[in-house]
Structure 1
Amino acid sequence: MIEKETVIIIGCGLAALTLADKIRDNKNVIVLTKSSIRNSNSIRAQGGIACVVDPNDNCEKHYMDTIVAGCKFNDEQAVETLVNSGPIVIEQLMNKGFLFDQDSSGKFLLGKEGAHQQRRILHAGGDSTGKRLMDFLINRISGNVTIMEEATAVELIVEDNQCLGVITCNKANEFSTYYANHIVLATGGCGAVYQVTSNDPSVMGDGIALAYRAGAKITDMEFIQFHPTMLCSKGQCYGLVSEAVRGEGAILRLKDGTSIMNGVHPLLDLAPRDIVAREIHRYVKQGKEVFLDISMINDFEHKFPTITSLCEQANISTKDGRIPVAPGAHFCMGGVKTDLLGLTTVKGLYAIGEVANNGVHGANRLASNSLLEGLVYSNLLGNYLMACTNRKVRVSSPASRGNANVKRPPLPTTEEVRAIMSKYVGIERCEKDLLYAKSWIEKFSFQMFTNEQTFTFTLDEHNQINLLTTCWLIVTSALQRTESRGAHYRSDYPVSNDNNWQNKHIEQQNKETIVAMTGVGK
């Protein structure tokens, strides 16, 4: 009998669990998560899955919507793979027993969101799509996959550019070392490095920092998408108000009723997210409140139960017909550079979901393409891994325990870091602010962290070092891109360097340079 290979998946969102479900009969699968398996961005997803299932729709339209939203910065082959594979993975999901919302005749209840030409958003449970998907997958893998909660991955074990395993740490600061034939990063993005975010508080770019130190190439970290409509009331953020609400006709207005998107973009309130977010931000900076007028949506509470619950938490009545909103960090288009199968530049190391950058989203993600990406690319990686047999894991020496007497660098609190990122590296950036943020981050000497010191830091220190590393990558990338494109807006370079960027594919710049800048991660 041939012994099964072991695959370690770091993360517990849609991409992670889809992969685990795909390969669980073929491989020994271990899922590592830093908190609970129910703490992820995926479980919070309201919007749904963008996919061509309507006979009046087609993949060419979905492709063009994705390219236009991404400012022609997308990898065209990645987009083709996404939109063409979408109907296939949706059918496979339904064949396993997953149910999407349908009317009494069995027709899909499709939603419309920003920058989409037509309705193509599949939902489950109204605005509870992410939760329904995650409950479904957790139920499928339970008992078939080893799930290790409260096991934070703090370092990847790499020898001769081959990833051989991972070191974890728990809340008691106890370390464990795991070796495997394949290591998959599925840790999500980094939205929680900002004060106002739709992300789970645990999502602070850990996978990006791990891959960076392991020598993997990191790209496009300047492209951080801010969702236009977070429910914000009296200085507190309560959560995301799905773009599907605007898809049903809701309008962004000032307190006096003025519609803020008139004359800004032909698609008005359903313009691409970066445009809507910047317009709301402009008014917020002036001290003006922006509201989402939902008065025209019949049966709002039934259509959007999750958002209704958020409103109740904020003591806001949906009967009043308006919800106070402000932009918040939502999605990272950059991340660990991969090919279309999820392979990184380090052998044996893979990345899927938001932590990965396969080029599919370009400079700005199209609404509801994130869950689709998680489904499509985890299935592709699953096919690749199932075809792999007997990848040898040769470890020349056990992971070093380091010098316990090493001097630890002083580290800031999470809130201090979030305040700096929000103030200086937010929706609008400029060289002066970015240089200040870079200098502030670098004064904590986080780059002294090496594999030899892994066991000398506490779990909290590991988390802070990862946080600083990810923020430094964002800031450094934002400084390098001296133009405004998609989700990256420089007030000192308010237009693209390429005046014709909407009509031709842009070769990616600022690529694969970060490691060379300091030598960190080599």
Structure 2
Amino acid sequence: MRKADVIIVGSGIAALQLAVHISRRLHVIVLTKSKMQQSNSFLAQGGVAAAIGENDHPASHFQDTIEAGRNVNDHEAVWKLTAEAPGIIQDLAFNNCQFDYDREGSLHLGKEGAHSHARIIHGGGDQTGRRIVDGLLEKLGSNIQIYEDESVYELLVQEDGTCYGVSSKSKNGNMHNIVAPHVVLATGGCGQLFSFTSNAQEVTGDGVALAYWAGARIKDMEFVQFHPTLLFHNGKTRGLVSEAVRGAGARLVDECGNHLMEGIHPFLDLAPRHVVAQTIFNSIQKGCQIYLDVTSITNFEQRFPTAAGLCAQNDVQGRIPVAPGCHFLMGGVETDHVGRTNVSGLYAIGEVACTGVHGANRLASNSLLEGLVYGRRLARYLSEQDPSLFFPKTPSLPTPQSPVCLKLPSKEEIQRTMMSRVGIVRNRDSLKEQLSWIESFELNKWMTADFRQLTKTQWETVAMLQTSWLITTAALERTESRGGHYRSDFPNENKEWEKKHLSKTLEKRTAHESVQA
């Protein structure tokens, strides 16, 4: 058995920011089911939003965030985020994060969708995530112990409901119990639940499922953001083309060269993401392919090397065929302004958390900002806690049992059905069909299965099904359209839903009991 003061599950920007800023007197174990540089954060092409321009102000950033989130945001959380943003950028720049600067030596500020000012700080054009992750990795202290290729299967919870550790399995199949008074989920979102996605292969909704099984409240799961511009080639999405490309002047056009967003929204190609994604989706449904015309951007290859490399790999140039794909989860594990959940000892930061910042639709480049803000906040909070907190007794491994026969679909089936029934456009019939399909795999058996018996693929499939169920049930319950949640049978916003939030809590998952197939 391993012991630590803090366990961090995940290795993206939120996890690393926490690990860098936490007190060096605390022993921290970081667990990642792949490698430290395999995450959505590392892949992130977009930048970090902060009101640092001469005519900009956090109040304007606040208003843009509320507008994009369709006013279901937690206003206090949004204000604190936008107020802290300039200091976050100053801290990163002071520590030699490789941001982009203009000829006068000032940080170059880009424009992205639904922002009223140019306030997006980038690194390497469209390599911001990579530069921040690399910079944070270099600052990790000797108090940080990293285990790569280590999958967390379960959160350990005492009878009184306190979370005190995790059960994990290494690549070679060895099981480990790790205990700590503080367990932090920083596992990212759930993009791989959908067949079209910008997300890394590892992002399968694990953290949401783990938290739900441990008794945490899961909130706002119907709000899933689909990025408008993924390169679309031979019937598949091949990778993200950053919104910064549109911010630099690229235009969305149809096969005849007509500008798609004319007359749709006053911000045209930089309208809120749900507006652009739904417009592109509707055109594709009618048989009209949409392209991102980048011919007006001089030095496209130098300014956006990641997007240019993606185009070269797929033999595309000038006009990039695009389609929307799952990009970001606004809902997740409900937390307070520090990252605490309703489960004592359990915290969540980054995309897995629902802080109330994003509302119904995330404002562009607020995701890296959120991870950096909450990672630093939680580091300060944990550093102030009493280090002599009681450690529970060594948990014993359960008695080996006969394998549980779980009927599971393939991951590809989950992705295909979620995309077609719970994707960009939803309705009651498609949602009920998906819910019935998910529940045909007998959720009650998931509640009692010994996860140690499952392979990594089987466990991920169970987690994907659980998170898909949470999204589908919430989408079925919210009978309106708002932000990333669009119902064709309820196509308009309903004022009565503006302050309503949907949440679910599982009282307790009874694990390791014998289950008859």
Task: Return 179-188 or 141-150, whichever deviates more.
Answer: 141-150
Task: Work out whether residues 179 and 391 of structure 2, in 8 Å CA contact, stay in contact via their aligned partners in 1.
Answer: no
Task: Work out whether residues 401 and 454 of structure 1, in 8 Å CA contact, stay in contact via their aligned partners in 2.
Answer: no
Question: 1:475 is matched by which residue type in structure 2?
Answer: T
TM-superposed CA distance for 1:349, in Å, is: 0.4
Task: Work out whether residues 24 and 141 of structure 2, in 8 Å CA contact, stay in contact via their aligned partners in 1.
Answer: no
Match of 1:299 in 2: 299
Question: 1:305 is matched by which residue type in structure 2?
Answer: P
In structure 2, list runs of 5 or more residues that go unmatched. Answer: 512-517
Q: Tell me: CA distance 1:31–1:204, structure 2 relative to 1, closer, same or farther (3 Å).
A: same
Question: 1:137 is matched by which residue type in structure 2?
Answer: L
Distance in 2 separating the partners of 1:114 and 1:402:
54
Match of 1:244 in 2: 244
Match of 2:18 in 1: 19
- Find the partner of 2:485 among 479, 488, 499: 488
- Find the partner of 2:501 among 476, 494, 509: 509
Residue 214 (1) aligns with residue 214 (2): yes
TM-superposed CA distance for 1:157, in Å, is: 0.2
**Structural mapping, 1:76-87, within 5 Å:** 76-87=75-86
Task: Work out whether residues 448 and 509 of structure 2, in 8 Å CA contact, stay in contact via their aligned partners in 1.
Answer: no
Size of the alignment, in residue pairs? 508
Task: Return 32-41 or 398-407, whichever deviates more.
Answer: 398-407
Distance in 2 separating the partners of 1:166 and 1:56:
48
Match of 2:515 in 1: none
Question: 2:431 is matched by which residue type in structure 1?
Answer: L
Residue 412 (1) aligns with residue 409 (2): yes
TM-superposed CA distance for 1:452, in Å, is: 6.4
Question: 1:121 is matched by which residue type in structure 2?
Answer: I
Distance in 2 separating the partners of 1:202 and 1:446:
23
Match of 1:168 in 2: 168
User: How big is the alpha-carbon RMSD for the aligned residues of Structure 1 and Structure 2?
Assistant: 1.8
Q: Tell me: CA distance 1:339–1:495, structure 2 relative to 1, closer, same or farther (3 Å).
A: same
Match of 1:337 in 2: 334
Match of 2:225 in 1: 225
1:72-102 residue CA offsets vs partner (Å, 9 max, x unmatched): 0100011011100011111111222213111
TM-superposed CA distance for 1:139, in Å, is: 1.8
Distance in 2 separating the partners of 1:297 and 1:233:
22
Match of 1:73 in 2: 72
TM-score, normalization by structure 1: 0.94
TM-superposed CA distance for 1:171, in Å, is: 3.1
Task: Work out whether residues 180 and 393 of structure 1, in 8 Å CA contact, stay in contact via their aligned partners in 2.
Answer: no
Q: Tell me: CA distance 1:521–1:47, structure 2 relative to 1, closer, same or farther (3 Å).
A: farther
Task: Work out whether residues 409 and 446 of structure 1, in 8 Å CA contact, stay in contact via their aligned partners in 2.
Answer: no
TM-superposed CA distance for 1:395, in Å, is: 2.9
Q: Secondary structure at the residue paired with 2:109?
A: coil
Task: Work out whether residues 227 and 326 of structure 2, in 8 Å CA contact, stay in contact via their aligned partners in 1.
Answer: yes
Question: 1:378 is matched by which residue type in structure 2?
Answer: G
Distance in 2 separating the partners of 1:497 and 1:202:
36
Task: Work out whether residues 156 and 214 of structure 1, in 8 Å CA contact, stay in contact via their aligned partners in 2.
Answer: yes
1:253-292 residue CA offsets vs partner (Å, 9 max, x unmatched): 1010111111111111110000000000001111211001
Q: Secondary structure at the residue paired with 2:376?
A: helix
Question: 2:263 is matched by which residue type in structure 1?
Answer: G
Distance in 2 separating the partners of 1:303 and 1:394:
51
Match of 1:58 in 2: 57
Q: Secondary structure at the residue paired with 1:166?
A: strand
Task: Work out whether residues 23 and 383 of structure 2, in 8 Å CA contact, stay in contact via their aligned partners in 1.
Answer: no
Distance in 2 separating the partners of 1:520 and 1:430:
31
Distance in 1 separating the partners of 2:177 and 2:251:
52
**Structural mapping, 1:27-176, within 5 Å:** 27-141=26-140, 143-159=142-158, 160-176=160-176
1:439-496 residue CA offsets vs partner (Å, 9 max, x unmatched): 1111112442246613222222211111110111110111110110100000111112
Q: Tell me: CA distance 1:427–1:391, structure 2 relative to 1, closer, same or farther (3 Å).
A: farther
Distance in 1 separating the partners of 2:449 and 2:234:
46
1:277-323 residue CA offsets vs partner (Å, 9 max, x unmatched): 00000011112110011111111111111100000111112xxx211
Distance in 1 separating the partners of 2:354 and 2:396:
29
- Find the partner of 1:498 among 473, 495, 500: 495
Residue 316 (1) aligns with residue 316 (2): yes
Residue 430 (1) aligns with residue 417 (2): no
Question: 2:124 is matched by which residue type in structure 1?
Answer: G
Task: Work out whether residues 74 and 357 of structure 2, in 8 Å CA contact, stay in contact via their aligned partners in 1.
Answer: yes
Question: 2:233 is matched by which residue type in structure 1?
Answer: S
Question: 2:228 is matched by which residue type in structure 1?
Answer: P
Distance in 2 separating the partners of 1:76 and 1:53:
21
Q: Tell me: CA distance 1:29–1:143, structure 2 relative to 1, closer, same or farther (3 Å).
A: same
Distance in 1 separating the partners of 2:99 and 2:16:
19
TM-superposed CA distance for 1:238, in Å, is: 1.8
Residue 253 (1) aligns with residue 253 (2): yes
Distance in 1 separating the partners of 2:107 and 2:455:
50
- Find the partner of 1:375 among 372, 375, 379: 372
Task: Work out whether residues 14 and 42 of structure 1, in 8 Å CA contact, stay in contact via their aligned partners in 2.
Answer: yes
Q: Secondary structure at the residue paired with 2:237?
A: strand
Task: Work out whether residues 219 and 334 of structure 1, in 8 Å CA contact, stay in contact via their aligned partners in 2.
Answer: yes
TM-score, normalization by structure 2: 0.95
Task: Work out whether residues 151 and 169 of structure 2, in 8 Å CA contact, stay in contact via their aligned partners in 1.
Answer: yes
- Find the partner of 1:353 among 350, 368, 385: 350
Q: Secondary structure at the residue paired with 2:500?
A: coil
Match of 1:8 in 2: 7
Distance in 1 separating the partners of 2:218 and 2:155:
15
Match of 1:453 in 2: 450
Task: Return 456-465 or 478-487, whichever deviates more.
Answer: 456-465
Q: Secondary structure at the residue paired with 1:239?
A: strand
Residue 177 (1) aligns with residue 180 (2): no
Task: Work out whether residues 6 and 28 of structure 2, in 8 Å CA contact, stay in contact via their aligned partners in 1.
Answer: yes
Question: 1:353 is matched by which residue type in structure 2?
Answer: G
1:374-410 residue CA offsets vs partner (Å, 9 max, x unmatched): 1111111111000001353443572442552143211
In structure 1, list runs of 5 or more residues that go unmatched. Answer: none
TM-superposed CA distance for 1:236, in Å, is: 2.7
Q: Tell me: CA distance 1:447–1:33, structure 2 relative to 1, closer, same or farther (3 Å).
A: farther
Distance in 1 separating the partners of 2:399 and 2:450:
5
Percent identity reads 47
Task: Work out whether residues 212 and 521 of structure 1, in 8 Å CA contact, stay in contact via their aligned partners in 2.
Answer: no
Distance in 1 separating the partners of 2:438 and 2:267:
39
Q: Secondary structure at the residue paired with 2:139?
A: helix
